[in-house]
């Protein structure tokens, strides 16, 4: 006797869609978060893949590297070179950890919360890991020193650690402030400042001849993708904690 597949009745189908609709209405913000996160992460991964393939094959986006450096050379001057060097040093291994630590500890003390510290440690750990692995795996040489502004750097170029770390650190700080403030204008300002810092830090590396443009482009994609992962995980944990707290409150009410 052959097995027969039982199809749901119209009533069962309607009830199933009704349950799906109920879930979506109840958790619409979570669904929206996951959809947006998945979309941005997919774009970031696609961007990383596109830039990497271009660098390996020395075509497509990689053809922009030399023209971008040539354009930077035309804009250089002693005063501008010094100013950009000071700015790019803020994202280096000396000043970035110090400034980030001061900001995060200050927020933690102000808000009496470990969240800024935990999020920043997790975010920067991933950022540093991606930077180190990428440089070792690709092993790309930096632009020639005769086209760069001293002090020169000798580590592999791909990806730009300054640009990647600036994207992640500025993104986490903006996210932390976003959680605390309610003014749409202030939120927009914070996001704009974080975006501007990440972009300018990356462009400063190209201007000084310390990185090719594609080193910076892949760093932006990696930083954005990792930032999305960190923020999404934190939001899921917040919702889980809120659900648990609500459950405990309901249990307490029932016990009384």
pLDDT tens for residues 77-106? 999 999 999 999 999 988 999 999 999 999
DSSP category for residue 93: T
d(CA 86, CA 68): 21
Q: Where are the alpha helices (DSSP H) in 181-212?
A: 184-207
User: pTM of the entire structure?
Assistant: 0.83
**Given the structure tokens 């029932």, which residue do they identify?**
254
Q: Residues with Cβ < 8 Å from 207, sequence gap 6 or more?
A: 72, 75, 76, 84
Structure tokens at 254: 């029932």
d(CA 9, CA 48): 47
Maximum alpha-carbon separation in the chain = 89
Separation in Å, CA 114 to CA 103, 118, 189: 13, 6, 25
Whether the CA torsion 76, 77, 80, 82 is positive or negative: it is: positive
Separation in Å, CA 99 to CA 42, 179, 202, 220, 252: 31, 21, 18, 21, 45
Average pLDDT over residues 17-41: 72
Structure tokens at 235: 């939001």
Separation in Å, CA 199 to CA 27, 33, 94, 114, 162: 34, 25, 20, 29, 11
Cis (ω within 30 of 0) for the bond into 16?
A: no
Helix, strand, coil percent values for the chain (each to nearest 5): 80, 0, 20
For residue range 123-157, what is the model confidence (pLDDT) as tens digits?
999 999 999 999 999 999 999 999 999 999 889 99
Please give the mean pLDDT across all residues of the chain: 87
Lowest model confidence (mean pLDDT) among 43-47, 160-164, 227-231, 246-250: 246-250
d(CA 45, CA 85): 30
For residue range 41-59, what is the model confidence (pLDDT) as tens digits?
999 999 999 999 999 988 8
Q: What percent of the chain has pLDDT over 70?
A: 83
């Amino acid at each position: 006797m052959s097995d027969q597949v039982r199809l749901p009745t119209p009533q069962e189908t309607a009830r199933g869609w009704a349950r799906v609709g109920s879930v979506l209405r109840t958790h619409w913000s979570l669904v929206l978060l996951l959809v947006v996160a998945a979309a941005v992460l997919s774009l970031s991964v696609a961007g990383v893949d596109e830039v990497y393939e271009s660098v390996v094959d020395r075509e497509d986006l990689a053809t922009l590297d030399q023209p971008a450096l040539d354009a930077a050379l035309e804009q250089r001057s002693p005063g501008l070179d010094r100013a950009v060097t000071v700015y790019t040093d803020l994202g280096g291994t000396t000043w970035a950890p110090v400034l980030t630590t001061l900001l995060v500890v200050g927020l933690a003390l102000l808000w009496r919360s470990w969240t800024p510290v935990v999020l920043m440690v997790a975010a920067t750990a991933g950022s540093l890991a991606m930077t180190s692995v990428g440089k070792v795996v690709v092993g790309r040489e930096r632009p020639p020193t005769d086209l760069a502004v001293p002090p020169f750097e000798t580590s592999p170029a791909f990806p730009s650690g300054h640009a990647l770390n600036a994207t992640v650190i500025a993104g986490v700080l903006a996210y932390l402030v976003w959680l605390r403030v309610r003014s749409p204008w202030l939120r927009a300002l914070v996001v704009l400042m974080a975006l501007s810092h990440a972009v300018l830090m990356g462009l400063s590396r190209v201007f000084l001849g310390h990185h090719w443009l594609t080193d910076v482009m892949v760093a932006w994609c990696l930083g954005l993708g990792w930032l999305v992962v960190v923020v999404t995980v934190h939001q899921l944990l917040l919702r889980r904690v809120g659900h648990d707290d609500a459950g405990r409150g309901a249990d307490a009410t029932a016990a009384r």
